[in-house]
Amino acid sequence: MSPRRPRGQRGLTLLELLVAFAIMALSLGMLYRAMGGSARSVADVDRYQRAVVLAQSLLSLRDAVPEQGWNQSGESGGYQWQIASAPFATDVKGPNIPPLHEVNILITWSDGTRTRSFEVSTLRPQRRPPEAGRS
């Protein structure tokens, strides 16, 4: 014969239910926080990508820098930008080698309560003065 099982309670106790709900609530809270962080990250990446595209557009305005330099600022689509250039010293000299300018572009924007920025630097040749006899 097999031993008899006592007639007892079947199912979950109130304490077990409370523990299960607490574990489920913590898990859902962590999942919600992870998903919210991902959505913010996507928005941040989008803003940075727009800043990069703006910087590339500003650089494409000129393929050479005037002799007096390039200093300009403005605003576009919620982004503030500044362009500043300075002569860049090199040891390479020659009649066909133009002087170089270091061009810095600073893009800033407001991201809620924080100010974000993106900066890019490159070298551009100095524009050659017009040759005599050509108009």
Asked whether residue 46 is domain-assigned, the answer is yes
Asked whether residue 93 is domain-assigned, the answer is yes
Q: Give all strands of the β-sheet with 71-76 in edge-to-edge order.
A: 71-76, 79-88, 100-111, 114-125
Asked whether residue 121 is domain-assigned, the answer is yes
Asked whether residue 8 is domain-assigned, the answer is no
Asked whether residue 72 is domain-assigned, the answer is yes
Asked whether residue 7 is domain-assigned, the answer is no
- Name residue 112's amino acid: G
Asked whether residue 4 is domain-assigned, the answer is no
110 lies in which domain range? 14-125
- Residues 64-110 pLDDT 10s: 898 898 999 999 989 999 999 999 988 888 878 888 999 999 999 99
- Residues 2-22 pLDDT 10s: 666 566 667 778 888 888 889
Q: 102: domain CATH number? A: 3.30.1300
pTM: 0.66
- Structurally, the chain folds into a number of domains equal to 1
Asked whether residue 3 is domain-assigned, the answer is no
Contacts of 124 (CB under 8 A, 6+ apart): 62, 63, 64, 65, 70, 85, 100, 101, 103
Token pair listed for 49: 């990508």
